[in-house]
Copies of this chain bind each other. A is one copy, B any other.
Amino acid sequence: MRLRDENKETLIREQAIALIVQEGFDGLSMQKLAKAANLSASTIYIYFKSREDLLNQVYLAVDEIFAKEVLKNFDPAMSFEEGLWQQWKNRYKYVQKYPLHYHFSEQFRNSPLIKHQDIKESPFRMAMQQFTKNAIQRKEIVDLPPEILWALAYGPFYILIKFHLDQSSMSGKPFSLSEQKMKQAFQLVVKALRA
Interface of A with B (CB < 8 Å)?
Answer: 21-27, 103, 106-107, 110-113, 116, 119, 125, 128-129, 142, 144-148, 150-152, 154-160, 163, 166-171, 175, 181, 184-185, 188-189, 191-193
B residues within 8 A CB of A175?
Answer: 147
B residues within 8 A CB of A192?
Answer: 188-189, 191-192
B residues within 8 A CB of A142?
Answer: 188
**Residue contact A112 to B170, C-beta cutoff 8 Å:** no
Taking the full assembly, how many copies of this chain does it contain? Answer: 2
A159 CB contact (under 8 Å) in B116, B158, B169, B170: B158
Give the distance in Å from the alpha carbon of A145 to the alpha carbon of B169 in the complex.
11
B residues within 8 A CB of A159?
Answer: 147, 150-151, 154-155, 158
What's the least CB distance linking A109 to chain B, in Å?
8
Give the distance in Å from the alpha carbon of A184 to the alpha carbon of B188 in the complex.
17
